[in-house]
Amino acid sequence: MDILVLIGRILFVLIFLNSAMGHLTQTKAMAGYARSKGVPAPEAVVFGSGVLMLVGALSVLLGVWADLGALLLVVFLIPTALTVHPFWKETDPGVRQNEMLHFLKDIALAGAALMLCGLFAIAGGDLGLTWTGPLFDQD
């Protein structure tokens, strides 16, 4: 089962690693989009969210305090869903549908990250193929 969890972690973090690279290498371009969504200090937020995603994804991937890494991803996902993808504000049906898709994707990923956090906390050091046990141990 350890290998299945590792494969799942790898697949789960791919979207965050890819997105983090975009945030960190195309900060100015992505800040324009964030600005159009009303995000304050968009360049700082885009860069900071890139760092947050990168640290969280690497933590989950490598199994170094993976529970904390999963929580960092939740800290990115929930505000992003609410501020960048508020589908309920859109009047154009196509734009509304696209924003709803992204909103629900972010919420679903946040739910999966919360489950991962719980899995790491419950399994503790018994979950193999990690470098450390969880930061938030149940003991």
Q: What is the pLDDT of residues 54-113, one digit of tens each?
A: 999 999 999 999 999 999 999 999 999 999 999 999 999 999 999 999 999 999 999 999
Q: Which residue has the higher pLDDT, 54 or 3?
A: 54
- Global pTM? 0.92
- Average pLDDT of the residues in 111-136: 86
The answer to whether residues 122 and 5 touch, using CB atoms and an 8 Å cutoff, is: no
pLDDT band, residue 139 (cuts 50/70/90): low
- For the beta carbon of residue 5, count every other beta carbon within 10 angstroms: 19
Output the six-digit token pair for 115.
Answer: 């489950």
**Region of 41 on the Ramachandran plot (φ > 0 left; ψ -120 to 50 alpha; else beta):** left
